[in-house]
Amino acid sequence: MEFRVLGALSIEEDGEELIHATGKPRQLLALLLLNEPRRVPAGSLITELWDDAPPQCALATLHTHVFALRTEFARRLGVPRDLIARDLIQTRGDGYQIDLGEGSFDAGEFQSLRHLAQALLNTGDVLGAGRVLGEALGMWRGPALLDVHHGRLLRAAVAELDRARLDALALFFGTQLDLSRHREILSELARLVVRHPHDEELHARYMVALYRSGYRTRALEVFDELRRSMRDELGTAPSERITRLRHVMRVADAAAVDAASGYGHARGA
């Protein structure tokens, strides 16, 4: 089976979608997946589904939702429901755990590729790291769990995934700058800084790509836009690192900009 959360929630076998549950059962399934392989206590599941105002029958209703999910899996896979309870959606103490067995899980694979890319960067293999990061980022089909309601716990888990995606994007564009592919990444970075107006790492990479491509004035404007956005919306200011990068772009040459940004040319090619 293929379990996917980097976009809409999807569980497929042989290209056929297995689960069409909506509402709270879908929300419950999503939380179990993002905690795999850990057990999720019933109390945490109740908090996710009803926040601080659970009904008196919350525990019984939770059991009903689990029963419905097991029934749907069993029907779609053509196996007894007891088999699903034993091998897939398992009761563990006062909670539940999902066991993916040999199934593929896009969030887990994304994290593994991200860590592999970092290990390659640590050895100086910029080209290999860029390829791995491109593969990892290509697994995203949209915002994580875009079709699932997020309670308190899912919001936190999805925010962690989103942060990991932004970190991977920053690493990827860093490899492209190291390989002197600044012109190739300009348009994508332009879109990303609009979507993430407070992300300094993406803004710094966009500034370097613009500067190297001959757009020094625009690079400085990008910093001004970041500073204004952070001031007006967050009440903060850009970090010393990106502020220094902007200063170097104003007064120094390309070599000094590369030194300030931390990106060389064609390393690992």
pLDDT tens readout for residues 141-176: 999 999 999 999 999 999 999 999 999 999 999 999
CA–CA gap between residue 70 and residue 84 (Å, rounded):
6
pLDDT for 252:
75
Copy the structure tokens of residue 243.
């502020």
CATH number assigned to the domain comprising residue 18: 1.10.10.10
In a domain, 11, yes or no: yes
Question: What kind and span of H or E run contains 16?
Answer: strand 16-17
Copy the structure tokens of residue 198.
């407070």
Of 77, 102, 127, the residue at which a domain comes to its end is 102
Identify whether residues 186 and 94 lie together within a single domain. Answer: no
In a domain, 125, yes or no: no
CATH number assigned to the domain comprising residue 264: 1.25.40.10
Spatial neighbors of 15 by CB under 8 A, at least 6 apart, are: none
Predicted TM-score (pTM) of the model is: 0.88
In a domain, 126, yes or no: no
pLDDT for 264:
56
Of 74, 102, 130, the residue at which a domain comes to its end is 102
pLDDT surpassing 60 at residue 266? no
In a domain, 137, yes or no: no
State pLDDT tens for residues 12-38: 998 889 888 899 999 999 999 999 999
State the pLDDT confidence band at 254, using cuts at 50, 70 and 90: confident
CB atoms within 10 A of CB 93: 9
CA–CA gap between residue 259 and residue 89 (Å, rounded):
52
Range of the structural domain that residue 199 is part of: 181-269
In a domain, 152, yes or no: no
In a domain, 217, yes or no: yes
CA–CA gap between residue 36 and residue 4 (Å, rounded):
12
- Structurally, the chain folds into a number of domains equal to 2
pLDDT for 194:
95
In a domain, 223, yes or no: yes
Copy the structure tokens of residue 197.
């107006």
State pLDDT tens for residues 50-98: 998 999 999 999 999 999 999 999 999 999 999 999 999 999 999 999 9
In a domain, 86, yes or no: yes
Q: Give the bridge partners for 105, in sequence order.
A: 3
